[in-house]
Structure 1
Amino acid sequence: MTTTAVRATARGSAGAVPGPWTLGLLRGALEIKQFFRLRDQVVFTFSFPVVFLFLFASIFRDHVGHTGVTASQLYVPAMMASGIMSTSFQSLGISIAVERDEKVLRRLRGTPMPPAAYFLGKIWLVLFTGALETAILLAVGTVCYGVRLPSDPGRWFHFAWIFALGLTACALLGIAVSSVPKSAKSAGSVVVLPFLVLQFVSGVYIAVDTIPGWMLDFGALFPLKWMCQGLRGVFLPDSAKVLEQAHAWEFGRIALVLAAWCVGGLVLCLLTFRWKNRRDG
């Protein structure tokens, strides 16, 4: 083979090396495959918000004020927002902490795989599971509780960016909080507790108009409250605006808050993420 042919072959081989985006997609496919291999995890992940929706919607079924909206219909978008945060913040916060404790991250860091590919794989995982979770809850809400799908394309546009920004913000916060637990055994407690508190002060389990103002102000510091409010604005009639703290859907403010949390979450990830435990040096 001539020198020219060798160089051409080398250039072709170098060009065939997959980049971070391709590796991230492949890593995401692997993450999804591994997720569905754990059947108990799959059942719990997708059934938990559905069960809670069924319980709360069955207990509270009366109409709320003069809005023409039932309490069960209020729970559907709130549970959708909670499901998005569950499949991103909670899932990543626990799973990455476990992988770090089991030295999976340390081994991956020693491979030629770009670090970005690992995080892209996680994003693909939460995007897939978050979309599936949302679709399940929306199907249950429309079939069982009379939630109407929007006929206005503008509302579907709002749904798309609320889902994308909310999922991204919560995923980044999940990656950041994964550095807090000192071991895999404590990961569940460390991550679940703040998520549980936020669900109560963000209008997931309790109607916004019955939550004390100071609790709402605290919940407004975090993405979940704004995701709940935005999804209510998408799937509920405008008559339900009066139930919100500001008596408006505030889509502009929701976009700003979620975008700010995307930036803030990325900064937190860059400042706090570690590939190994503190005890490993």
Structure 2
Amino acid sequence: MKETEILNTAVLNGKTVAVPVKVVTVGTDGTVTDVSDAVQCQSTDEDVVKVSDRCDYVYVNGKEMRGRVRMLLNFTYGYLRAQLEVKVWIPKLPLHIEVSDTELSQIKGWRIPVNSNAQRSTRDSEDDDDEERRGKTCTLQYQRAMVRVLTHFVAESSETRGQVTHMLGSDWQVDITELVWDFLKVENPRIARLREGRVLEGMDTGMTSIQVLSPLSDSILAEKAVRVVDDRVTITELGLQLVSGLTLNLQLSTGSNRAISATATTQEVLSNPKQVLLKIPTQI
């Protein structure tokens, strides 16, 4: 077994994580024999990690209850016995949903077309501005917000009951948005909707919540309340930023020797006018 650490992401997306195992014997003459098909095996705690019936891989399927810093798997071949030690990390529940803005307003002067089948409200505004009353097939655009799902991966101590170890440290959280993409939902899609899994867009006034649903049960792994309000906001600034000559530097993080820090830098003077990234920020 090449990897001795298992990251239990099956809890998040329902996809089994498996690591192959090979059992060999070494004879007195140095001969190495693969006996994987003839061994018996057992996990000392299947609520942490499991081993296949044929003893050819170790796996987690999302039904586990906890992680473990030092987890032992027993393998038996005749009168010979051996133990495999693995470390199993599991996501800490509930997950943390991070939203850049939990209160979304209408943007004054920014109208978008609405078809007859759309759920978005087209009711008349109480504002006396004639420009905002034009057209029954248009409505004001609501603000949008970025959504991320984060969590700690943890493992229980094998020696001290109740003691929990955090992968990389308690200050580190893992962005698992892509892992839970298919299970990230808005409770009431009439109020707001998710675009491309990461962008929350207001649809109509009211309150709803963003939820991460379990792929294996009816439970909710995380929930975050959001509001869509009648208040109007105005775009006050439109900026333009040129980015050129990007370089990327990778090095071990000072916070943990098990993490790599990536630093991107850019040149202030354009060296290649044909390769420019335009970034247009707005303030509302």
TM-score, normalising length: structure 2: 0.26
Query: Counting strand residues as a fraction of each chain, which structure ranks higher?
Result: 2
Q: For CA contacts below 8 A with separation 6 or more, give which structure has more relative contact order.
A: 1
Q: Larger radius of gyration, structure 1 or 2?
A: 2
**Structure-1-length-normalised TM-score:** 0.26
